[in-house]
Amino acid sequence: MSRVLVIGGHGKVALLLAPLLVARGDQVFAVIRNPDHADDVRAAGAEPVVSDIETLDVDALTDLVSGHDVVVWSAGAGGGSRERTYAVDRDAAIRSMDAAAEAGVNRYVMVSYFGAGPDHGVPEDNSFFAYADAKSAADAHLSATDLEWTILQPSALTLDPPTGRIDMHADESGSVSRADVAAVIAAALADASTVGRSIRFNSGDVTIGEAVTAN
């Protein structure tokens, strides 16, 4: 049994992830900013933790993550201002990684996006640039740490039912259901072979369990 801290605990992926983890015996703690979301989190089987990660420094985040076995970052500014995108998707994410290292919480899973990286190719005058730039910086920071990290890079998210199958070999972004992203997170946490890997995926034909163990 693991104690899993999900940052961004009221997001659609996080609410689908919690029941999967609880069903296999994990304890899930969901960090949420809005206390009005606590009932939704409890209904998914997680324990709500009300905290605004955007405002917490490394010391406060260290206190937040201490006592857990795993941190899952599934938070985001949600298409807000450029400034808030950097504040959450880059700066708060990086502080949470440093806090996990400080607290001795070695396992860290980042939910990123399909095109993240220094060559994301989004022009600066595009409204998506801040998000692409922020996520790429956060992913780079994580991959340079000594944490047992996994970076998941799903393509465009849908609300379709889960298929249980993904494609990790596509060159171009397609789409994948949020339910399948949640299943990939759960599978990655259960499989040590995913440590130190970035896993980019669309919906596909290979079962998630088989796909994430492929090197």
| Apex 191 CA angle, 13 and 185, nearest 5 | 5
Alpha-carbon gap, residue 194 to 214, rounded angstroms: 9
The pLDDT tens digits of the residues spanning 163-200 come to: 999 999 888 888 999 999 999 999 999 999 999 999 99
Q: What percent of the chain has pLDDT over 90?
A: 82
pLDDT at 182: 98
H helices present in 110-200, as ranges: 129-143, 178-189
Specify whether the CB–CB gap between 155 and 180 falls below 8 A: no
The pLDDT tens digits of the residues spanning 92-107 come to: 999 999 999 999 999 9
- Rg value, the chain, Cα: 16
Alpha-carbon gap, residue 172 to 181, rounded angstroms: 17
pLDDT at 117 over 80: no
The pLDDT tens digits of the residues spanning 122-168 come to: 777 777 788 889 999 999 999 999 999 999 999 999 999 999 999 99
- SS3 call for 131: helix
pLDDT at 78: 72
Question: Whole-model pTM?
Answer: 0.94
Token digits of residue 162:
């889960």
Per the listing, tokens 């490394």 go with 58
pLDDT at 121 over 90: no
Domains defined along the chain, listed by start: 3-213 (3.40.50.720)
HSE-CB at 85 with a 13 A cutoff on CA atoms is 16
Strand pairing class (165-167; 70-73): unpaired
